[in-house]
Amino acid sequence: MRHALIVDADPIARNRLLNALISLRPSLIVCAEATLANARKRIKQRMPGILITDFYLSDGSGLQLLEQVRGLQPKAPRLIFSNNSDEDHVMQAFRIGVDGFLLKKENDQSLRQLLRSIFRGEPALSPEIARLMITLLKLKQAQPPHQSSAVRLKDPNDAGLTQRELEVLALLARGMDRHQVGEALAIRASTVAGHVKSIYLKLNVRSRAEATLAAVNMGLVQTINGEPSPTSMLP
């Protein structure tokens, strides 16, 4: 691992990563780019031994770079460095097999410690991301074998959730994103986002996985056999 490529539109983020990498491995040659196009030019010139990128660049998605490097250099560590820690972004990253997910809110010392894991051949996860992954695993284990993740609604008064919030929670528990929930319920995605925020507050959770797990544990929803359509789950 002699070369590293950092891709981030934020110059402060680029400098933080560059300084952290050099402090850990002074002999490492680190290049930093702000755009997808420039990063691709760098990759054509020299394949990086480690790639770190944000999700969103001014001219495209960092995920495209991660997939490109995976195809050309499967063993090269690929990491996300982002402010986005919601479940949808995390799952997008891990679906393409990232080796680490670092949050920009980590202080410099924590950032160096996490990056050190990569040089040891270990995954690098910010604690918040690690907790989310554990919650997702617990949720998967909580589902009985051979049963789908579809849910049946119970009493709308439980936990102070409204009928609409229970409907939204049921669809989130099936793995739908906010746009899909909006289509299923014929409401705007922004309206769904408002309901999700209210659900999180009432259940005292911070992610869809935690909300679903809390709902199952509290008996607000339950898994059932089969795969009914979203509307078949509504009272």
Give the tens place of pLDDT for each residue, 180-215: 889 999 999 899 989 988 988 888 877 776 777 777
User: Given 3.30.230.10, 1.20.1510.10, 1.10.10.10, 3.40.50.300, which CATH number is that of 142-233?
Assistant: 1.10.10.10
Sign of the Cα torsion 111, 117, 123, 129 reads: negative
Q: What is the mean pLDDT of residues 103-125?
A: 93
pTM above 0.85, yes or no: no
Long-range contact list for 40-49, CB < 8 A, 24+ apart? 40/65, 40/68, 42/5, 43/5, 43/68, 43/69, 43/72, 46/3, 47/3, 47/72, 47/73, 47/76, 48/3, 48/4, 48/5, 48/73, 48/76, 49/1, 49/2, 49/3, 49/4, 49/73, 49/76, 49/77
pLDDT in tens, 28-48: 999 999 999 999 999 999 999
Question: What are the DSSP E strand ranges found in the chain?
Answer: 3-7, 29-33, 50-53, 56-57, 60-61, 78-82, 100-103, 124-125, 151-153, 221-223
pLDDT tens by residue, 143-155: 554 444 444 444 4
For the domain covering 3-134, report its CATH number. 3.40.50.2300
Predicted local confidence at residue 161, as pLDDT: 84
Ordered by start, the domain boundaries in the chain are 3-134, 142-233
